[in-house]
Amino acid sequence: VLSSPTSPELKVLQQLPPGSEVVGVGRSLAELALSESQLADVDILAISGVGANAAKKADVQDVWPTLKGLKWIYSSSAGLENLLFPELIESPVLLTNAKGVYSNSLAEYALTACNWFAKDLPRLQRAKADRNWDPYEVEELRGKTMGVVGYGDIGQACARLARAFKMHVVGLRRRAELSEKEKQEGLVDAMYTPDQLTELMSQSDYVVMSTPYTPQTEKLVNAAAIAAMKPNAVFINVGRGKCVDEEALIEALKSRRIRGAGLDVFATEPLPAESELWGLDNVLMSPHCADRTKEFQIESLEFFVLNVRRWLAQEPLQNVVDKRAGY
């Protein structure tokens, strides 16, 4: 297990089924303190931890050549851009991630951002600070359209909550066709492909971006897509910051070309102090922590334990990643 030995979520590994054994825990090859033969016998590598407790990509690359018998890597992250490297991509080693573990919390954040603007919560804060009783009209989310750019697990969770608010939902992904299960659930009114992005942007009152970062999604939401948004529309990003042209977004926000943005992710993290985003009053910001609940790493390892059970039973693993696609 590549993680700090003090990571509290590691207690979940006590639930591993018979037939599996944790032989070492550490953020680096030195911390693992395993012999050459012990490393060569490792079948599964789990990468866990957050912040100071997490192993870095360089640590994974450092231990990689020693794991001669490695068959499967589990990442407790959903995004993989900070893990993938050429040797791993080209190898037969399976890679799974924690897709789905973070979807509910990110969907809650997205709807919070919608309501932040619909109810003009900053105005309430200012009025309270000024002891000013100042009633005003607020908006409902009911009847508004949410456009979901990246209709994967996170996007679907956003759509479910949007439907609870009686919003319309349109989605975007590589495949426009809906599965039978998706048709039965009835979450989306229309599904678009990436070449129809500006159409989705122009229809949406709230655009939620939930794409992973890959070379194909870099600046997917570009200046033209932002220019297609309604003047009163809000852009919300719970995916990856590099998937939007941040400079074009800042210009649209500064000029009030769009109403505002709710951002949990940024092109550069931590967000530089000189970024103009800090000073914009029409931006709700959080430091990439919308999914950092008390339980999120615990639930991620619980998912890993379930997958280990499948592995030992010779059943297909869940969340197998297409390493070349990056998700």
Residue 240 annotated as catalytic? yes
Residue 257 annotated as catalytic? no
Q: Measuring CA to CA, which residue among 64, 107, 56 is closest to residue 83?
A: 56
Task: Give 245: exposed, middle or buried? Use CB within 10 Å, 0-12, 13-18, 19+.
Answer: buried
CA 244 to chain centre: 14
Distance in angstroms (rounded) separating the CA atoms of residues 277 and 99: 29
Distance in angstroms (rounded) separating the CA atoms of residues 283 and 159: 22
Identified catalytic residue from 269, 276, 295, 315 = 269
Helix/strand/coil for 2: strand
Residue 302 annotated as catalytic? no
Q: Please say whether the beta carbons of 154 and 239 come within 8 A.
A: yes
Q: Which residue has the tokens 């619980």?
A: 302
Identified catalytic residue from 160, 163, 257, 288 = 288
Distance in angstroms (rounded) separating the CA atoms of residues 6 and 239: 29
DSSP designation for 224:
H
Cβ-based neighbours of 167, under 8 Å, separated by 6 or more: 141, 142, 143, 144, 145, 146, 206
Identified catalytic residue from 9, 27, 168, 240 = 240
Distance in angstroms (rounded) separating the CA atoms of residues 30 and 58: 13
Q: Measuring CA to CA, which residue among 53, 51, 52 is closest to residue 10?
A: 53
Task: Give 226: exposed, middle or buried? Use CB within 10 Å, 0-12, 13-18, 19+.
Answer: buried
Q: Which residues are catalytic?
A: 240, 269, 288
